[in-house]
Amino acid sequence: MKCIAVAVVLLASARGYAEPAIPRLAVELELFTDAAWVRRDGPDLTQFRLDRGEVGATVGLGPQAGSELRLESLRSAAEGGALGIGGDSIVVRVKRAQVFGHVELGDVRLDGAAGITADPWLAEVENGYTLRPLSATGSERLLGWPTSDLAAVARASYGPVRLDVSFGNGEGLRYPERNNGKTTTAVFEVRPFVTREVRVAVMGRDGSIGPALVRERRVGASAMFGSDEGRVGLEVVRAWGIGDRGDLVGTVLAGWGEVQPIDHLFVAARGATIGFDAGGRSTTVGGAVAVEPWHDHAARLRVWLAIDHTSSSGAAMPLPGADPGTATTVMLIASTTAPFTVD
C-alpha cells in the first residue's frame, strides 16, 4: 500500500480575511437522531435511527501547529444489509486524523497538513450548509463522494481568493489500500465581500478508484449566500465515472435554502438530481420546519419535522451506497452541535 507521509498546505490571508488562531484545545460534538416512517416500493418501514454521531478534538501544539482527531459513528453493515458486527451494531471509526501547522510571511500565511484529511470540495460545499441533519450534499449523496481521505492537502489564498489542492488515495475510508493510483482535487474559492457571507467556488478532480483504476473525474462549481434572514446554496458537478462504473457519465444539480421568518423558527427546502448521459435520472427533494429552542453562539439544538422523497426514472439504477429506488420518508429529527474552545 502506498501512503502519504508529508504535506505542504499553502494559505494566504489579508486583512479582513484572516484565519482564526489555533486554539490550545477545541472540542466539538455533533449528534443527529431521528424517528422516520418510510413509504417505499415493497413494505413500508418505521425506524428509530442515529443518523450522525461525531466528536472531534483539535489540540494546539504551539502557536503555529496543531493536531486533530475526529470520530464518527456508523452501522456495521451497509444500508439494507443483514450482516454486521453484533447484529448490525453501531461502531466508531476515525473520520479525520491529521497534523497541521502554519507560518506567516507578511500578508501571506502558509499552512501544512497530513493524514486523514477532509475532502476540500465537500468541506467547501458544507461550509455554511445548515441542512446536514436533513441530507448530505448533492455530491456526497448522489455521487458517493467520500468526506475524507488519506491525503496531503495544499491551500493557497490571498485576500478574498483561495486555492485548495488535495493529493490522496481517492478511496475515502472504505478501501484505502486497494488503489495504486492517486487522486488530485483542486478547489478555487472567491469571497468577494468581507461583511457578507458570500462564496463562489470551482473544482476540478482527476483520479481513479479500485484495483482496476476505474476513472473518477469531476468538474464543478458552487455558490453560497448567507445573511441574517437566511441562506441559499447551489452546486453543479459533472462526473466521468461514478461509483465503480467508469463508463457512467452524469451531471449533478443541487440547491438548498433556509429562511428564519421569526425567532427560533426555520423553514428549509433542498433538492438534488443526477442525470446520466446514457439515459435516466435519480432525484431527491425535501423540506422541513425546524424550531431552535436553544442557541448559544455556535452551539445549537434544533428539532425538525422533515420530508424526503427519492425517485429514479429511465435507465437510472441505484448506485452502491446511494438511495434505493423510490421512497418517501417523514422524519422527526433532533440535531445538536456543541463546540468548546480553550484559547
pLDDT at 97: 96
pLDDT band at 15 (very low <50, low <70, confident <90, very high): very low
Domain boundaries, the chain: 9-342
SS3 290: strand
Mean pLDDT of 291-310: 91
Task: Give the mean pLDDT of 54-79.
Answer: 89
pTM: 0.88
Spell out a b/e string for 136-145, using b for 16 or more CB atoms within 10 Å of the CB, else e: bbbbbbbbbb
Q: What is the pLDDT of residues 126-144, one digit of tens each?
A: 998 999 999 999 999 999 8
- Distance, in Å, from the CA atom of 98 to the CA atom of 57, rounded to the nearest integer, reads 11
Average pLDDT over residues 155-179: 85
pLDDT in tens, 224-239: 999 888 999 999 999 9
pLDDT value of residue 44: 82
- CA proximity to 115, closest of 91, 99, 134: 99
Cα–Cα distance between 189 and 199 in angstroms, integer?
7
AA letter at 80 = G
Mean pLDDT calculated for residue range 333-343: 91
pLDDT band at 111 (very low <50, low <70, confident <90, very high): confident
Residue 190, pLDDT score: 94
> What is the average pLDDT score of the chain?
86
From 168-177, 198-207, 265-274, the region with the lowest mean pLDDT: 168-177
Separation of alpha carbons 279 and 124, rounded Å: 30
pLDDT at 297 over 80: no
- CATH entry 3.30.70.1560 includes domain 9-342: no
